Amino acid sequence: MRRDLAARGERAVDTARLLARSVLDTNPVPDWEHVTKVDPEGAKKLPLLYPLWLAETDAVSVGGSSDVTPANTAAAFDLLAPLSTPVCHEPSGADHVTEQSHDVADLLLVPEVLNGDSEALVGTLGTAIESVREELAPELIRRKASWLPDRVADWLAGVATSLLLSEAAFEAYIVQNPDSAAARESGVGAEDLLDPTDAKRRAMAADRHLESEIVYLEYSGTFGGDEAVETLERIDGALVRSRVWYGGGLANAEDVRAVREAGADTVVVGDAFHRVAEREADLLEQAATDLDADASPETIREWVADRVDAEGSGARFLSTVPGVDDPVALAREYTGTTVRAWLELRARSRRAREGSGEPTVDVQDTTLRAALAPIVDDPDALAAAIARGALAGPDDVVADGSRRSDQLSASLVDAGTSH
């Protein structure tokens, strides 16, 4: 009798849960329109004033499928932690999840590939869960409460592991570009690509069986075109709870509109953002040759206007953000501020080296600090972190013990000699 009652109670809870899943939006992943993927690998740089560009996106996701390490992940989080924009962590290996990544990230995104090898579906995930349960969580509890009896500490480690996973959002990837690093890492070959009908069926399985918070159509590095649009249209309306994310090759408003109209809730942009930093490195070098350290804002504005247009990387990145009305004007504004900030930092860094010999830069009353003030809570700390990042050469040890970063587009290490 008691068992009957308990079973009936449980069934009622299940029914309520099912009903809630279908009627209410119980998905903890916000309905973001635009996510920028920041790859921590050293070859992928950040623009010097990355907080300005990233203030336009709804969320940042830190992760990449190759050459990501615990160290470059930590360095990326050091730079991104002070932003007001939400930051997600998308690890591609168990050891990328650390106490720091957990503290800084607003959301843990766990990839599982629906059309790759079993390692990329559940193998790496199993290894990661084991490592959290048996290493990360016990270490954390030992550090925070070394006095706890072993059995209690072990029980708490189990609870902490369950909590981490219950708060995570699972991403069911459909990887459709066999030439991408993501495909190589997840064992997706040409024979594994899915046509729109099969993609929809697996998306439905991910939504209703795996309960994945995100179904991610991934063309990493290339735009999926008509095939992606057709797949999204097929998936659209078939899912109950999962958000649909599209990523791959987005660098203009037209393609963004096409995938959004086809049913993508969120577009993810990676390469187009890192290209802003790539192009910026050359531009700053040129600016240091063409312009005086104390060039007026007007002179800088004209210099930038001659070099930044709709085909430039800044405008292309901003054109992928649905809320940005005039990408060229905004790209000119951000690039102008970057050039001013850079010329100023170079001059200050040179003066500091000539004076005390110390490679430090005072960021008070700088263009850098002023540009950050409206968009973050602690502009002093962030300006100092950026200046430090630009000052740190690949072999420098940063005096205050913070991690080195070679992720910024430009370095002040060798920049103090001209002008």
Ligand X SMILES: O=P(O)(O)OC[C@@H](O)CO
Ligand Y SMILES: CC(C)=CCC/C(C)=C/CC/C(C)=C/CC/C(C)=C/COP(=O)(O)OP(=O)(O)O
For residue 62, the partner it binds in ligand X, ligand Y, none, with Cβ less than 5 to 8 A by kind, is none
Alpha carbons 205 and 201: distance in angstroms, whole number: 6
Least distance from C-beta 21 to ligand X, angstroms? 27
Alpha carbons 189 and 196: distance in angstroms, whole number: 17
- E strands, 95-147, in order: 107-113
The residues with which 34 forms a beta bridge, in sequence order, are 267
Span near ligand X by CB under 6 A; candidates 94-102, 262-270, 324-332, 395-403: 262-270
Span near ligand Y by CB under 6 A; candidates 86-94, 300-308, 388-396, 405-413: 86-94
- Which residue from 229, 264, 268, 391 is in contact with ligand X, where contact means CB under 6 A? 268
Using alpha carbons, select from 419, 366, 355 the residue that is nearest to residue 390.
366
- Which residue from 132, 259, 315, 412 is in contact with ligand Y, where contact means CB under 6 A? 132
Residue 250 in contact with ligand X, rule: CB under 6 A = yes
From residue 179 to residue 198, the character string flagging contacts with ligand X as x (rule: CB under 6 A) and all else as - is ---x----------------
Least distance from C-beta 158 to ligand X, angstroms? 32
Interacting positions 354-393 with ligand X (CB under 6 A): none
Are the CB atoms for 215 and 240 separated by under 8 Å?
no
The residues with which 87 forms a beta bridge, in sequence order, are 60
- Which residue from 91, 263, 314, 389 is in contact with ligand Y, where contact means CB under 6 A? 91
Amino acid at 74: A
Interacting positions 155-214 with ligand Y (CB under 6 A): 173, 175, 180-182, 185-186
Span near ligand X by CB under 6 A; candidates 71-79, 150-158, 247-255, 282-290: 247-255
Span near ligand Y by CB under 6 A; candidates 121-129, 310-318, 347-355, 374-382: 121-129
17-26: long-range contacts, CB 8 A cutoff, minimum separation 24: 21/240, 21/241, 22/240, 22/241, 25/241, 26/241
- Which residue from 29, 32, 34, 37 is in contact with ligand X, where contact means CB under 6 A? 37
Element (H, E) at 245: strand 243-247
Alpha carbons 38 and 40: distance in angstroms, whole number: 6
How many binding residues for ligand Y (CB under 6 A)? 29
Are the CB atoms for 181 and 41 separated by under 8 Å?
no
